[in-house]
Chain A
């Protein structure tokens, strides 16, 4: 992995809990509806982004390797 990731937030699931924004403010911000939007480009360590994704109470965040398209979160099979 070259270190760049692609982040997606499912707005059907995001309840505006703001955990991601609090944990990784360089990668997520709230939009006018107070739902989370991934920032592009982002400025945050990948580990921090993965932590934020895991902290989402509704599993609304997906992270993939920008180069290979491999799923990084949620782990495959879950």
Chain B
């Protein structure tokens, strides 16, 4: 296989097999200047960890500090919509630096602590069982739409205290926001619809909960406005963030993980021996082996040396989870899918101050899904043609995952 343009991050081969491409890159230069896109690619585990722990050198305010048209290109008449998307993203927690970041995160973190989230396990288990009770008699499913995209909104919807009858609407908006990661030239339109939808939907809820707070997430954000930590717009925008930050990511964990099991049937049998016990480490290995988020970005705040290269103030940087998670300096036999792997210091949730806020919830959902699938199904088989991935550098998202099973 030849990759014609070594720096073409969107080449078909790179989207289909990021691991081969980024492993070659990491071996040659773990900190690499990508000429074509004008950004640094950081692919070594040690280099990524160092970068993430030095938030004062590498800013998360990527949207506000960079310009340039959307890529892949969009329909020219839709370009004005791009600004709307940018301002939606710029106010999110994940785009803030200190000191704002700490104040915002300090408001919501206690909702997501490992112990607090553990209390949701029975709810998540029941939600998974409900979905599978529906699916099982059918004999086939698209794991993506029937299971993976259906679960996360149910859980976060409950946490937000959104009425049950609105969950369908919530799912629609979350699905529209998935276009943030698509390649279609018309993608800004459904995306903007989803963004406007969630802002409009959250508005009355935020007002109501500012007056009469409950123990839900929207109340927590609304109280933040009262305390002067959030602007009103930030309450709405971060409600949106909480809705979709766990949507595509958890979807990918479920689909990529199940695909890894289908390609490694001996590991599936191993999980089935004791699903309740094995699901915890297995979920970590799914996260490492085919991570839901392949990479995200930073901007250098000053000149800084990393991996022997001089990064200049203002330079953009992509750190590659999909490369760091396969670094042989940290993971013995890194290309092996081994559900008993321990320790497993993968970077699928990032590191440093922006380390995934929803990590405990993501783990819980992954564990409960893999456990329930292993308890109920002997084996899955792929149906349909070749699997395709969304043309995204950021997410590792299958378009669909159609499977059948024998009862």
To the question of whether A and B form a pair in one complex, the answer is yes
B118 touches A17 (CB 8 A): no
A17 touches B353 (CB 8 A): yes
Q: How far is the CA of A71 from the CA of B110 in the complex (A)?
A: 21
Q: How far is the CA of A55 from the CA of B110 in the complex (A)?
A: 6
The interface residues of chain B lying within 8 Å CB-to-CB of A17 are 351-353, 355
CB of B115 closer than 8 Å to a CB of A: yes
CB of B53 closer than 8 Å to a CB of A: yes
Interface string of B95-132 (1 = CB under 8 A from A): 00000001001100110111100100000000000000
Q: Which residues of chain B from 351 to 368 have a CB within 8 Å of any chain A CB? A: 351-353, 355-357, 359-360
The interface residues of chain A lying within 8 Å CB-to-CB of B53 are 16, 33-34
B351 touches A16 (CB 8 A): yes
How extensive is the interface on chain A, given as a class? 10 to 19
Q: How far is the CA of A52 from the CA of B331 in the complex (A)?
A: 30
Given contacts A15-B355, A17-B353, A33-B53, contact A57 B360 (CB under 8 A): yes
CB of B54 closer than 8 Å to a CB of A: yes
A78 touches B355 (CB 8 A): no
The interface residues of chain A lying within 8 Å CB-to-CB of B353 are 16-18
CB of A67 closer than 8 Å to a CB of B: no
The interface residues of chain A lying within 8 Å CB-to-CB of B228 are none
Q: Which residues of chain B from 327 to 367 have a CB within 8 Å of any chain A CB? A: 343, 345, 349-353, 355-357, 359-360
25 pairs, CB–CB < 8 Å, chain A vs chain B: A12-B343, A15-B352, A16-B53, A16-B351, A16-B355, A17-B352, A17-B355, A19-B105, A19-B109, A33-B53, A34-B53, A54-B113, A54-B115, A55-B109, A55-B110, A56-B114, A57-B109, A57-B113, A57-B355, A57-B357, A57-B359, A58-B114, A58-B355, A75-B115, A78-B118
CB of B324 closer than 8 Å to a CB of A: no
CB of A26 closer than 8 Å to a CB of B: no
CB of B311 closer than 8 Å to a CB of A: no
Q: How far is the CA of A18 from the CA of B265 in the complex (A)?
A: 40
Taking chain A's interface residues, is the majority helix, strand, or loop, or is none over half, making it mixed? loop
Please tell me the number of chain B residues within 8 Å of chain A, measured between CB atoms.
25
CB of A59 closer than 8 Å to a CB of B: yes
A22 touches B106 (CB 8 A): yes
A74 touches B115 (CB 8 A): yes
B52 touches A16 (CB 8 A): yes
Report A10 CB to chain B, min CB distance, Å. 10
The interface residues of chain A lying within 8 Å CB-to-CB of B112 are 57
Given contacts A12-B345, A54-B113, A78-B115, contact A22 B355 (CB under 8 A): no
B343 touches A55 (CB 8 A): no
The interface residues of chain B lying within 8 Å CB-to-CB of A23 are 106
Closest to B343 in A: A12
Q: How far is the CA of A54 from the CA of B77 in the complex (A)?
A: 50
The interface residues of chain B lying within 8 Å CB-to-CB of A15 are 349-352, 355
Closest to B342 in A: A12
Q: How far is the CA of A56 from the CA of B350 in the complex (A)?
A: 15
Q: How far is the CA of A19 from the CA of B102 in the complex (A)?
A: 9
Among the interface residues B52, B105, B115, which one has the most CB atoms of the partner chain A within 10 A?
B115
The interface residues of chain B lying within 8 Å CB-to-CB of A33 are 53
Report A78 CB to chain B, min CB distance, Å. 7
Q: How far is the CA of A22 from the CA of B112 in the complex (A)?
A: 17
The interface residues of chain A lying within 8 Å CB-to-CB of B356 are 57
